[in-house]
């Protein structure tokens, strides 16, 4: 934990960083690929809408020894429609049949009682009419649309329209991925699913707003300096809040993973799947979009402005000038070192003739 804390402190101070913004085309490509897969899943598999959205009946039986597979077979034969059966913790069965005429519910109930060998009065039936289910679906879409509009308005006022647009793209990205995975997995869409979607959008916005707030603070007087471009400051904002975003997401994912894998998987509480899957996928997608989509997209939009283009040119010109001055100083230093060096002696060295040669000798011939 101390190492993680030190890493977060070093990221916040800018001592180390990862180039999220510079590699944004890679993240865009990954997101486009995942989004296309989700859309294909929606087109091919469609969403498994619950009876709350398309009408039907839910029959809850007392404790019985009948297996889930046998109960599904009995329910399909009695109604003529596909049925979803879940084993409850008490040993009872929850039989859900969508798209049936509610007027035939009593007949289906009596048939199920005979097949399951239970008293008809002990079977509880909850009916949902198709018109009421359609109203629920419309209200869900209206609530989602109102939520999006309010989010965009707030972010445009608190920050700017480019950040609002980037946050909207990130939200649509998260919703598309979550609904696509729902279609591929085949989980039932219930009002709990809608609640889960709205919840994960809030988490996604939380991480995004944290980065946007840091970015707004660091770019307050950005045109008065020539050290960093807008994209580089945006990258510093992501790195400065990276560990915080990861910690928040992991802490939120742990209990949701418990609901999904332990509660829904091992314990068989299938009613938890509708909300836990949307929360789990949405939280992961929201953390990804806040880091890899929203802020890099803001940097893309901002760097198209004339003022930011001019700033980028000034920063690049200053860096080029500094690099040229550095090369010149290095060349001068190398020249000074060459002048100070002593030249080596090459070839044989001639000794001068001695001036004392012949001293002490008498002139004339030898005898």
Q: Which residue has the higher pLDDT, 106 or 36?
A: 36
Per cent of the chain over pLDDT 70 is: 81
Does residue 124 surpass a pLDDT of 80?
yes
For the chain, the three-class secondary structure string (H helix, E strand, C coil) is CHHHHHHHHHHHHCCCCCCCCCCHHHHHHHHHHHHHHHHHHHHHHCCEECHHHHCEEEEECCCCCCCHHHHHHHHHHHHCCCEEEEECCCCCEEEEEECCCHHHHHHHHHHHHHHHCCCHHHCEEEEECHHHHHHHHHHHHHHHHHHHHHHHHHHHHHCCHHHHHHHHHHHHHHHHHHHHHHHHHCCEECHHHHHHHHHHHHHHHHHHHHHHHHHHHHCCCHHHCCCCCHHHHHHHHHHHHHHHHHHHHHHHHHHHHHHHHHHHHHCCCHHHHHHHHHHHHHHHHHHHHHHHHHHHHHHHHHCCCHHHHHHHHHHHHHHHHHHHHHHHHHHHHHHHHHHHCCCCCCCCCCCCCCCCCCCCCCCCCCC
Q: Are strands 48-49 and 188-189 parallel, antiparallel or unpaired?
A: parallel
pLDDT at 29: 93
CA distance readout (Å), 264 to 177, 268, 366: 21, 5, 130
pLDDT band (50, 70, 90) for residue 190? confident
The pLDDT, as a whole number, for residue 2 is: 53
pLDDT at 180 over 70: yes
Answer whether residue 55 shows pLDDT above 70.
yes
Region of poorest pLDDT, from 185-194, 206-215, 309-318: 185-194
- What does the pLDDT look like over 251-295, one tens digit per residue? 888 888 887 777 655 555 555 677 788 888 888 888 899 889 999
pLDDT attached to residue 145 = 86
Domain extents for the chain? 2-49+132-313, 56-128
| Measured distance CA(81)–CA(58) in Å, rounded | 13
Structure confidence at residue 65 (pLDDT): 81
User: Which of 64-73, 264-273, 316-325, 330-339 is predicted least confidently?
Assistant: 264-273
CATH number of 56-128: 3.30.70
pLDDT given for residue 362 in this prediction: 47
Given a cut of 70, whether residue 360 has pLDDT beyond it is no
Each residue's pLDDT tens digit, 195-229: 788 788 777 788 888 889 888 888 888 888 888 89
More confident residue, 338 or 167: 167
Q: Give the pLDDT confidence score for residue 332 in this predicted structure.
A: 73
Here the tokens at position 47 are 């969403």
- Domains 2-49+132-313 and 56-128 alike in fold: no
Which pTM does this prediction carry? 0.73
Confidence (pLDDT) at 358: 47
For domain 2-49+132-313, which CATH number applies: 1.10.150.20, 3.30.750.24, 3.30.1370.140, 1.20.1640.10? Answer: 1.20.1640.10
């Amino acid at each position: 934990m101390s190492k993680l804390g030190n890493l977060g402190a070093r990221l916040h101070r800018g001592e180390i960083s990862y180039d999220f913004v510079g590699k944004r085309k890679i993240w865009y490509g990954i997101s486009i690929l995942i989004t296309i897969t989700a859309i294909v899943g929606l087109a091919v598999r469609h969403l498994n809408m619950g009876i709350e959205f398309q009408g039907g009946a839910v029959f809850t039986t007392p404790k019985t020894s009948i297996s889930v597979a046998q109960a599904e077979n009995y329910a399909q034969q009695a109604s003529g429609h596909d049925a979803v059966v879940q084993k409850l913790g008490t040993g009872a069965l929850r039989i859900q049949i969508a798209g049936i005429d509610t007027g035939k519910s009593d007949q289906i109930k009596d048939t199920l009682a005979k097949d399951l060998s239970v008293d008809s009065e002990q079977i509880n039936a909850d009916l949902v009419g198709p018109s009421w289910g359609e109203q629920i679906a419309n209200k869900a879409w209206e609530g989602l649309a109102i939520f999006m509009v309010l989010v965009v308005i707030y972010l445009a006022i608190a920050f700017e329209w480019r950040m609002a647009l980037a946050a909207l793209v990130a939200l649509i990205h998260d919703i598309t991925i979550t609904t696509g995975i729902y279609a591929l997995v085949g989980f039932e869409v219930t009002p709990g699913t809608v609640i889960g979607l709205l919840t994960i959008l809030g988490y996604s916005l939380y991480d995004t707003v944290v980065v946007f707030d840091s970015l707004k603070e660091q770019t307050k007087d950005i045109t008065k300096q020539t050290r960093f471009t807008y994209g580089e400051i945006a990258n510093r904002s992501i790195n400065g809040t990276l560990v915080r975003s990861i910690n928040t997401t992991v802490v939120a994912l742990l209990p949701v993973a418990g609901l999904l894998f332990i509660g829904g998987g091992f314990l068989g509480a299938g009613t938890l799947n509708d909300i836990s899957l949307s929360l789990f996928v949405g939280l992961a997608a929201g953390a990804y979009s806040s880091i890899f989509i929203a802020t890099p997209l803001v940097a893309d939009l901002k760097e198209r402005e004339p003022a930011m283009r001019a700033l980028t040119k000034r920063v690049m010109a200053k860096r080029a000038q500094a690099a040229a001055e550095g090369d010149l100083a290095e060349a001068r230093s190398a020249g000074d070192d060459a002048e100070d060096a002593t030249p080596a002696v090459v070839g044989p060295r001639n000794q001068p003739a001695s001036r004392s040669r012949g001293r002490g000798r008498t002139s004339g011939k030898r005898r």
